[in-house]
Amino acid sequence: MTRRQTRSNDWGFPRWRGYGSERGATQVRLCDRDGCENPGDRPAPKSPNSPERWWFCEEHAAEYNRNWDYFQGLSAEEAAKRESDERRTSAGYAESSYNSWGGPGDGNRSRDEMRALEALELDGDASFDDAKAAWRRLAKANHPDVKPGDAAAADRFRRVQAAWDVLRAAEERRQGVG
């Protein structure tokens, strides 16, 4: 005679079976695209400002988003007003990175590059050509062959050379060289 189990494995702590391992069938929503049998787990709005959603698979969600027009149904004036309102509310983020805690420069240079520009006696928004000209000018003025025995000039030359190496490597990274 087979003995029937009267207790479940669900009692007490720790839980003896894995979470999400219920015995019942799992409901799977299929993709709302006609003829698609993949699970539809990516919601997409049926219309602007509507709570109703389509549920697509990844492939059909990408297709849907590729053709999505955010300003559909709006006149040109309404679309322009909505765009300007949204730009106005998000413009503060871009400004704060440039003007406040971001430091000097236009935000596309690292701290090492900014220090290198200072060593070359340039502003934070100087171009690469300006840096190259400043490097040549300072290297010629402080080269050990031009000023033999001057320890201060040799130190300035080393700092200028190190600054140039930092800026050149950064420019090569931006250009995709190397």
pTM of the model: 0.42
The tens digit of pLDDT for each residue in 11-50 reads 656 656 666 666 666 788 899 888 899 999 998 888 767 7
Token look-up 């799992």 returns 26
Three-class secondary structure of residue 169 per DSSP: helix
pLDDT of the residue at 100: 47
Sorted by where each begins, the domain ranges of the chain are 28-68, 74-102, 111-175
Dmax of the chain from CA atoms?
A: 105
CA torsion through residues 74, 78, 80, 84, sign: negative
Q: What torsion, rounded to 10 degrees, do the Cα atoms 114, 120, 126, 131 define?
A: -120
- Among 31, 33, 56, 30, CA closest to 43: 56
pLDDT of the residue at 124: 82
**CATH code, residues 111-175:** 1.10.287.110
Three-class secondary structure of residue 32 per DSSP: coil
> Phi and psi at residue 43, in whole multiples of 5°?
-75, 150
pLDDT of the residue at 159: 94
Q: Mean pLDDT, 10 residues at a time, over the chain (178 residues)?
A: 64 60 73 90 81 88 79 85 76 53 61 89 88 93 90 92 92 80
